[in-house]
Amino acid sequence: MLYTPDKSCKQTMNSTLSSRRMTSSPNLGIIIYKKYLTDELAILRLKPEQGRVPDFQAGQFVALGLDLLHHNKITYRAYSIASPPEEKRHFEFYIKMVTDPLPGQLTTAIFNLKERDRVYWCHPAGFFTLEEKKNDGSLDMRRLILVASGTGLAPFISYTLHLKNKGTCREIILMHGVKYATDLGYREILENLQTQTQNNWNFKYVPTVSRPDHQLSAGWNGNNGRVESLIMSNDEGISELERIVGERISPENSFFHICGYQGTIDAVVKLLTPAGFVTNRNKRNDGSFDIKIETYGS
């Protein structure tokens, strides 16, 4: 998935997303795996040409680069890492082919990478990482609610696999909204994780499809609507999310991470604000917040 440079809350994107001349030897990697999920969605695995995957935190990104014109000038774009930090053999990326308004040259080239192709990469960076402690330094055991639209799912795959690996007993709800059922990347893995209960693992996967009547959603019988619809109250004043968890959602019992389109983020924040939630872009006077957000361009 591709970051939108000046819309995201963070990160020193300008340097990684701009074209620049090679002033030192960049890292090289080899595509060792590619799987098309649809014509516009694919999973790539990149193995460092030398050494292993460096240490990183779940939720960080890697800038991938190509010398498109073979002029010793590498152009980079940043993609979130979908694999967990414990995976040292390769990076995994969940990538969408951007076609609106027009496909970009670099985006197209990266999406069309094949197994055995080589690509430049920069060390992991970024601040959209897990919040595991409260503002006072104590361990945060509030319910973790991950809200994703489109390929904003990628960092949450890294989150979930990492938390599973470390044996967390924190309740995790992952809500993913897409247009068509075929766009539900990682669906099989997430459904499988939902069935596991050993070692106090408590994970729920809640996908939703906004165009259920389309042929690309044939056979879909799950939730319908955009992902924010899962947080909207029904006629009885209860949201689907609250029905699933069995209580009212509040800053005292839940912490949100939201990743995806700006419209998704705006809608979810608007729905949560009346309940007392605040974002990391508008912290309380003591520095605390209950929603961490990241904006994606695709």
For the cut 50, the answer to whether the pLDDT of residue 2 exceeds it is no
CA distance 6 to 298: 14
Whether 137 is in a domain gets the answer no
- If one counts the domains in the chain, the total is 2
Task: Look at residues 58, 89, 121 and tell me which one is the last residue of a structural domain.
Answer: 121
Both 109 and 151 in one domain: the answer is: no
Whether 134 is in a domain gets the answer no
**Mean pLDDT score, 32-43:** 95
Q: What is the pLDDT of residues 54-90, one digit of tens each?
A: 999 999 999 999 988 777 789 999 999 999 999 999 9
Both 94 and 217 in one domain: the answer is: no
Both 113 and 22 in one domain: the answer is: yes
Cα distances from 281 to residues 91, 112, 147, 184, 287, in angstroms, run 29, 35, 17, 29, 10
CATH code of 99's domain: 2.40.30.10
Q: What is the pLDDT of residues 139-166, one digit of tens each?
A: 999 999 999 999 999 999 999 999 999 9
* Confidence (pLDDT) at 15: 39
Both 90 and 154 in one domain: the answer is: no
CATH code of 148's domain: 3.40.50.80
Residue 53 DSSP one-character state:
P
Structural domain harbouring 29: 13-121
For the cut 80, the answer to whether the pLDDT of residue 127 exceeds it is yes
Whether 260 is in a domain gets the answer yes
* pLDDT band per the 50, 70, 90 thresholds, residue 284: very high
For the cut 60, the answer to whether the pLDDT of residue 12 exceeds it is no
Whether 55 is in a domain gets the answer yes
**Mean pLDDT score, 277-284:** 95
Both 100 and 215 in one domain: the answer is: no
Both 165 and 223 in one domain: the answer is: yes
* pLDDT band per the 50, 70, 90 thresholds, residue 25: low
Average pLDDT, the chain: 89
* pLDDT band per the 50, 70, 90 thresholds, residue 18: very low
Both 283 and 175 in one domain: the answer is: yes
